[in-house]
Chain A
């Protein structure tokens, strides 16, 4: 593949943003991204892709509400009913077809406008077999977490260590919404939402927008001194029947990674990947996803995380940005937040959290309960 990210722009991530509309937030991130790429959207960008889900937005056919604030009126626009990484992958493919040489990708969250979030998630459950109980839909995560702990021998403490790490990492991310110096006890003693899942095991929702500009090889070299290359991509969906899934491993992530690694020529991810941004909607999901990406053996992630392997100064840093837990859960946009961190790190623009000598990174996404869908992208500063 010969597509690169040549510009990124984003708002800061915040718990609430009552003074600004989602369109104005998208405008801000778009202006910053186009400025970063040195492009004029009205002249230089031929295609725009956004990621959105109508129920998160409160609009029917939300696709119609995106062109103006992106500079995309009367251009080729489409909305992907998936996460930001799936939109990015579709943008990559649009360029690969030769139809466009510069495209823009957008994903956002205005979660603070959603007044009935658990209700929306509940409507993602099968109406006939899974919606009969008046409980928070995160019960699915409670079930999955207990099975994961049971099969792998991972402990609740090791899950809590994920929370402590990601909150700590977020202290060095000026864009993060939920940075904190949290202790293990703060996590372990927080109330159960769906035992064994506690309040602190759950990433808190945040508002924010991320826009990226992609370009073909020729255009990327023209536009940027330090383009970040997409080396491999993959995406995968498991069965929607939660009764029929494998509960201890994230098969969608394992297979998406397998495809992305093959494309990128990654044979030994533990050696060839310098750092990773993985989905941590729930603490245990980070561990499950680290394992699915082959960054350690199955069942080993908790132990290795406790030993510091995945810390900022560890062997293979994971979620240096803070992830969903520290930076904030941006719904479909967290996938692009993961890519954003990879880009900033690979370009040496990550400020006080900058990693040394990082050349190849992996970003992985998951769409949350009750889905079993996710994407993987391998990124590199080298073509």
Chain B
């Protein structure tokens, strides 16, 4: 619909632009505890709601069920079981990756939550839902207090 339309595709004009925005993302009270324990002790920190009997992984300082503030912090070994996995072939620009990356939804033992992380030391064809896995950490000197302090999870 228009009185007139452009018919010559060579005449079509546009301008290019971008929205450059940079941030820091605060880890927060729960995130701080989680990443310090990860970096310094190779442990995972969860929070437990006594009223709902629910263990949050990653930890949160509040319960999204009963809305209570949580203060029961639990340290756990970095082990779990694969609840789902995917073999990803594209990067976040939509370009083909040189090697596919295996990511898994890892249910962390003794919690009601999970971590999403890479899986290593296993061929994609051998992956199974239910497979027990454990974290493989970077050297202490290379850790920064981020999820990538875990290099990947491998079969336990």
Question: Would you call B93 an interface residue if the criterion is a C-beta within 8 Å of the partner chain's C-beta atoms?
Answer: yes
Complex: A122 Cα to B90 Cα, angstroms = 13
B116–A242 CB distance below 8 A: yes
Complex: A142 Cα to B101 Cα, angstroms = 12
Chain A residues positioned under 8 Å from B25 (CB to CB): 127-128
A150–B129 CB distance below 8 A: yes
Complex: A122 Cα to B148 Cα, angstroms = 17
B90–A193 CB distance below 8 A: yes
Pick the contact of A118: B92, B104, B147 (CB < 8 A): B92
A28–B2 CB distance below 8 A: yes
Question: Would you call B77 an interface residue if the criterion is a C-beta within 8 Å of the partner chain's C-beta atoms?
Answer: no
Pick the contact of B87: A128, A144, A195 (CB < 8 A): A195
Question: Would you call B36 an interface residue if the criterion is a C-beta within 8 Å of the partner chain's C-beta atoms?
Answer: no
Give, as a whole number of angstroms, the nearest-CB distance from B44 to chain A. Answer: 12
Chain B residues positioned under 8 Å from A134 (CB to CB): 91-92
Pick the contact of B84: A116, A191, A247 (CB < 8 A): A247
Given A133-B101, A135-B92 in contact, is the A243-B86 Cβ separation under 8 Å?
Answer: no
B84–A136 CB distance below 8 A: no
B window 49-107: CB within 8 A of A: 56-58, 60, 64, 83-94, 97, 100-101, 103-105
Complex: A138 Cα to B93 Cα, angstroms = 12
B116–A130 CB distance below 8 A: yes
Complex: A194 Cα to B88 Cα, angstroms = 4
Chain A residues positioned under 8 Å from B131 (CB to CB): none
Question: Would you call B29 an interface residue if the criterion is a C-beta within 8 Å of the partner chain's C-beta atoms?
Answer: no
A129–B116 CB distance below 8 A: yes
B129–A118 CB distance below 8 A: no
A132–B92 CB distance below 8 A: no
B90–A243 CB distance below 8 A: no
Complex: A60 Cα to B5 Cα, angstroms = 29
A window 29-88: CB within 8 A of B: 31-32, 55, 58, 60
Q: Please indicate which of the listed interface residues B92, B94, B116 has the most CB atoms of chain A within 10 Å of its own CB.
A: B92
Question: Would you call A376 an interface residue if the criterion is a C-beta within 8 Å of the partner chain's C-beta atoms?
Answer: no
B5–A243 CB distance below 8 A: no
List 9 A-B pairs, Cβ < 8 Å. A118-B93, A119-B93, A137-B92, A147-B83, A192-B89, A194-B86, A243-B57, A244-B114, A247-B105
Residues of A participating in the B interface, judged by any CB pair closer than 8 Å: 11, 18-20, 24, 28, 31-32, 55, 58, 60, 115-119, 122, 127-130, 132-139, 142-147, 150, 191-197, 239, 241-244, 247
In the A-B complex, the 5 residue pairs with the smallest Cβ-Cβ separation, listed nearest first, are: A142-B86, A136-B90, A147-B84, A195-B87, A127-B25
